[in-house]
Amino acid sequence: MKCLIIAAGKGSRLQSKGDSKPLVSMLGIPLIERVIRAAMEAGANEFFVVVGHQGEQVRHFLARLANCLAIKITPLVNEDWDKENGLSVLKARDVLHEPFLLLMADHLFDPELVRPLAMLTLGEGEIALGVDVNTDNPLIDMEDVTRVKLEEDDCILNNSNKNSKSNNKKIIDIGKGLADFNGFDTGVFLCSPAIFNALEQSEEKNGDTTLSGAVRILAAEGRAKAVLLDGFWIDVDDPAAFLRAEQVLLARLCDKPNDGPVAHYLNRPFSVRFSRYLVQRDVTPNQISLFSFLCSVLAAGLFMLGGYFFLIVGGVIAQFASIIDGCDGEVARLKYQSSNSGGWFDAVLDRYADAFLLFGLTWHLLAVDASGWVLLVGFMAIIGSFMLSYTADKYDNLMREWVQAGGKAGLRMGRDVRVFLIFLGAITNMVFPVLVLIAVVMNIEVLRRVRIALDGQH
């Protein structure tokens, strides 16, 4: 699947963020890179990018990005970049002779939003436009959005709970000033080369070289389809939209199905704030993982020093490390640096951190009372911690299958709960009861998971 991206405009309303709109950085990644990476996830593997304002700067960035991602990105120059966007599309007429995705460099979207279009088969001379029919979408700038009027009975529906239909004349009208509308133009198209002829006809008939003008030409001939899209997308056109987009991207980090209750309700709200700062710095996810681990080692060392003061400080640092431990994955997702090796490295450090923390608490108790019970409880807490982590993948996979089959996932007991209990035990000076609680709860949870795995059901 080839993809054409319009990135020629000046973006004057967003100039407070940077001179070149496609290169404006959002959470550490330029807008144009976010669009290209999302399109790649949706199935695109060759790109044509129309550049204009600050074109040389954009071309240099695209060359580096193409080398980094090992994909082909061909820049196309539009000398009339300050005119209507249809002229940018026409620059691809000589290089695109089959259906292609058409995207905007300032429209961010979830890759899942594009897949229905990428998988669609167009009829002869047709195009398809992704349309958002949620007219209450809070991310929409009603003063700037392009509105769409659909024949409701003739839309192609891609939601799983609706029946799919395929008829002609899907789009009746399109434009920013429509008073009668029932959808919004997402800026995500699947086009055939017919779009180029439509642009020329629109200019000849109406003096209109906008993309919307070409869609109106095709709609009048029954060759403009609408695909209803349900998901995240936003036109990042001004500072207010930029802020809304940032907030959504950060909020999406909190929606992690494997999070336990402490991670979801306590750690994530803090870690996301740290991650928002970290993505602006030259810090890698692995470096964040290592820093979190070293904080845990420091906390364990403070536990071993003895005394209530060091116990409190160690507990606070342990919980801080648990919060920071969420930042490595968040930064990796925001900066597209996720990897299997990075996840494995983080998991290994977490196991060592758990061992140090629980051993530090056990040492703290043994320094006061060298009891065999203390040693046994500490040992069982460490074993329970390791086994809980060891069974996590199998359990999470079973729960995912259970939820997909219509079941409801239960409470997940994980590292977030364990470290929070360590924190509570330290600040309340109730180390032994907390160690007992960790030993009992963790091992019971392991046995429960084993039973679930053997039964193959929740």
- The answer to whether the beta carbons of residues 122 and 170 sit under 8 Å apart is no
Instruction: List the CATH code of the domain at 2-241.
Output: 3.90.550.10
* pLDDT band at 157; cut points 50, 70, 90: very low
- The Cα–Cα gap between 192 and 104 comes to 17
What is the enclosing helix (H) or strand (E) of 73? strand 72-77
Q: Which helix (H) or strand (E) holds 442?
A: helix 431-455
On whether the CB atoms of residues 432 and 374 are closer than 8 A, the answer is yes
Q: Averaged over 214-242, what is the pLDDT?
A: 92
Is the pLDDT at 111 greater than 80? The verdict is yes
Q: What's the pLDDT tens digit per position in 25-80? A: 999 999 999 999 999 999 999 999 999 999 999 999 999 999 999 999 999 999 99
Instruction: Please spell the DSSP secondary structure of 96-145, one letter per residue.
Output: --S-EEEEETTEEE-HHHHHHHHTPPP-TT-EEEEEE--TT-TT--TTTP
Matching residue, tokens 């991206």: 5
Predicted pLDDT at 406 = 65
Long-range (24+ apart) CB contacts under 8 A made by 156-159 are: 156/120, 156/128, 156/225, 156/226, 156/227, 156/228, 157/228, 158/116, 158/227, 158/228, 158/229, 158/230, 159/228, 159/230
**361/379 Cα distance (integer angstroms):** 11
**H-run or E-run covering 155:** none
- What CATH number is given for 254-455 in this structure? 1.20.120.1760
Q: Where are the beta strands (DSSP E) in 133-223?
A: 147-150, 171-175, 183-191
**Mean pLDDT over residues 415-427, rounded?**
94
Categorise residue 240: left if φ over 0, alpha if ψ from -120 to 50, beta otherwise. Answer: alpha
pLDDT at position 452 is: 80
The predicted pLDDT at position 99 comes to 94
Which pLDDT score is estimated for 308? 94
Least confident of 225-239, 255-269, 325-339: 255-269
Give this prediction's pTM: 0.84
Domain ranges of the chain: 2-241, 254-455
pLDDT at 239 over 70: yes
State the chain's mean pLDDT as an integer: 90
Strand pairing category for 183-191 and 127-132: antiparallel
pLDDT of residue 402: 67
CA dist 35 to 10, 78, 222, 242, 421, Å?
17, 20, 30, 14, 42
Determine contact, residues 402/457, Cβ cutoff 8 Å.
yes
Question: pLDDT, tens digit, for every residue of 275-294?
Answer: 999 999 999 999 999 999 99
